[in-house]
Structure 1
Amino acid sequence: MNDKDLFEQLRSGPFSRDGFDENLRRKINDNLANPRRGAKRPSFLRISAIGASFLLIAVVVVALWAWDGWATMGKTEELAIPTSRASESGAVADEDDEANRVPHSAVVIGLRKDESSARSSYRTVVVASEGDRLQTVGSGEGIWMPYEQDFWQIAAEDDTLGKGDQELFAYLKGVKKKADLQKQGDSRLRRTEKLLYAGDHYVVTLQTTNVDEKGNSVGRSEVLVNLLPTLASTNRAANLNALAAENVSLNEALGVDLPAGTVDRWAVVRENNAWMAKQAIRANGTFDVEQVRQWPTIDVPLESTNVVKDKPLALDWEEVKRLEPDAVDAFTSQDGDVALIVSNDQIQLVPYRLPESERNPVTIDLDRNESIVMVQWAIQEKYVENWKKWFTEWFADSSR
């Protein structure tokens, strides 16, 4: 075909060969009915995606296994925590946390009643959370003090000579051994003891010796600080002067060097809503509890130590007075869910962070000349439940 013929065809209309034929139309329709979803990925990319999926599953499984392992280990460690750590919180207290506003603590309160200048009686009252409120578990004779894995009962025992003297003995779980008391009574020694303080590890005793082992009149008082087992009946029977022999200095109890040097004789006294260290004044003859309160205060904090487990009071005094206008002293649990407010004739335990209509405080009446020598808290649920169980049994046994 020459140029002239081609030109003639163009003038006459479309090409003689039909470019948009039936075959092309069918292919277009087929593609419209079954569109392509995209080009296939290379095989190595498909394998990588499968591997990533398996890797993700493996990571999740390992993470769950590790979480369970940590949780199990945490439970195992919790079961091994000694009783002396019952007041340590398992979580950081948050004032806005509902769980911390609801009472969840237990408290063991030790009380000393001075019946005369020489003799005293002691009792322990236990209050614990039950559901969302506080209730009194019970009360029993002596001071029931937690130490390491167990509780010990500190009891005031009359001398076997009937002279009116009184000494302190500690019994593991309250189990007394009469043979030890008899051995103690065989001595001519006559002395009277008062418990001034019972803490996390230590007890403070005002000891007045009237007659020594040889029968000589002495008339000498001293304050002694000891680890609780020093008062064990077996230990005291083996050494009549065990308290003096095993006295613990303030430096040793706190594990620090004090600027004033070693303080061998000291006491723990409640003052300004806190347990304070008092340095003994050397004096001839005898002295009483009120004179101990007047000793110089040692400028060293006792809170959060082996001597005093309590934290400082979580409330300001104005708020305490709003809760109880007649308050003279106050304590708070480590989680701040309960306030123990002391007035002249009673103790109130108040879940003060609840609305007033929901507080349902517990009240303990105080006798004349009765004062607090111990406040021990349990925060963790395991200990709270154990304390309720143990003291329900112990107090039931002691009342028979």
Structure 2
Amino acid sequence: MMFKHLFKLIWNKKKQNFLLMTEMLFSFLVLFAVFTLLVYYYDNYKKPMGFEYQNVWVISYNNAYQTKNADSLNNYYGILRKSIKAMPEVRELSFCSFNTPFSNNMSQGRVTYHKKEFYHMNFYTADDSYQATMNMQVLEGRWFNKTDVVAKDKPIVINSDTKEQLFGKGTAVGQLIVNGDDKDKMMRVIGVVQSIKVKGDYAPAGLGLYQRADTGSLRWFGKIMVQVVPGVSAAFEGRLYKTMANYMKDSNIEIEHLTNKRTSINYFTLIPMIVLSIVGGFLVINVALGLFGVLWYNINQRRGEIGLRRAVGASGNAVSSQLIYESMILATLSLIVGSFFAVQFPLLNVFDLSAGIYISAMLLAIIFIYLLVFVCSLYPGRQAAAIYPAVALHEE
């Protein structure tokens, strides 16, 4: 009977309550978007980075040495490799393509497996020492070595995300993948490595495919990954720069630390979340003030009703609870409508996110709205409970 009475009171003020419910509905939808982004970022953050970046530097250079002679090219970069590797502060180094970790550079393509196409595949080209330089974890098979030169099919290494997408729980090593639509360009998987989050802590690793560098690759390479011993000084960075500049006299040399690049790209990734959180925060404050004002107005308009209830024996807690219940019912009606729209996202697989992210965000938004409504109802409810029956009835 109590809830029937509450619904009747709500219906009698349907215009005023409709506006309040509309505010709650839009607040829920904005909070759902904010929490979806937060849960998505947290889900990515808790996944392993996939490699050790703390003591890895990136050397960028212009390819100043131009020659059509393959032996001469190999010899040129072989001498440079030995010069850098001879430094006691250097543990390992690797020549690789320009899409290094924590950079905004990408090289994407499409692969086909059993007539199923996979888009947005990140292609990386690296030499045999890349895995050791990055301390990448090999989960299945092996990394590249010199024996791959004579392989019939082009050898490739894929990351764990690609393995899951293409082969599920099956074995990846030995499988053949088609590069685009060209069936003559068959690629054979020789290993699987842990996916590395090349776009920072909060972004997904994405599909990744590694190709072995050859002599032709040296013509367009412009990056060297260098793993140094912990705690090297700035003086060593100066000597490393001088070594590169003296050897590649017409080249522009730049040395960057992956730790600094990671910090920068994390800030860039967090910008959408910060903006959306600010918008959501302003909306929540607006709804809280609106809800608080409406409840306060209701108390002043219903002083006679509240005084009569107190006069016939209703306790202050009962009066306070009634106002809180009314607010919670309005919130529930708004959340039912909002949840109907929110549940469409996992059902329709919008933005290709897992259903768990949407469900978690929806539950967090529901809890937040309920807490907001409850907190905003407490003080007006206590004010209503403090109304004296005689004073209220005298005013009427």
User: Does TM-score exceed 0.5, indicating one fold?
Assistant: no
Q: Please tell me the TM-score bracket, short chain as reference.
A: under 0.3
Q: Which has the higher helix share?
A: 2
Larger-Rg structure: 1
TM-score with structure 2 length normalisation?
A: 0.23
TM-score with structure 1 length normalisation?
A: 0.23
Q: Which has the higher strand share?
A: 1
Which of structures 1 and 2 has the larger relative contact order (alpha carbons within 8 angstroms, sep 6+)? 2
